[in-house]
Amino acid sequence: MKALITLSAILLTFTISFASAQGTEQIVVKNGQQKVTKTGRLTVKFVELLEDSRCPANVTCVWAGIARVKLRLTKNGKTADVELNTTNNKSTIFQGHSISLEGLQPRQTTTSKYSPSAYSATLSVVRKK
């Protein structure tokens, strides 16, 4: 049992080290907010919630719906506005980084609606070598 725990700890350490070596970072950015990544000093701003027609969390739908966000990416004096969504356009490449939309919160229900300012995007940023 002790050997299994030790092996698990070694594998976990290796996995964390490998992810760090690849330059992967997860950030959460609120609508209207901007953050600078630790990996590569990329600035990401959540500019606007463009659409949220996702199926409410408390309903079973035929179609999952879609949510779209506009982000502003800045690095080395270059800026690009990009649109990512929750279905078929989840990622983009900018200045040697892959930026992916991993999640968008909150998820509306049939009894709750949220203002655009309440949203936050979870993004995965991978620094390409």
Sketch out the chain's domains with CATH numbers.
24-127 (2.60.98.10)
For 55-111, write each residue's pLDDT tens digit: 998 889 998 899 999 999 999 999 999 999 999 999 999 999 999 999 999 998 888
Write down the pTM of the prediction.
Answer: 0.79
Whether the CB-CB separation of 38 and 24 falls below 8 Å is answered with no
- The predicted model gives 11-27 an average pLDDT of 58
d(CA 30, CA 25): 16
Distance CA 49, CA 83 (A): 10
**Whole-number pLDDT of residue 44:** 97
Residue among 102, 86, 84 nearest 94 (CA) = 84
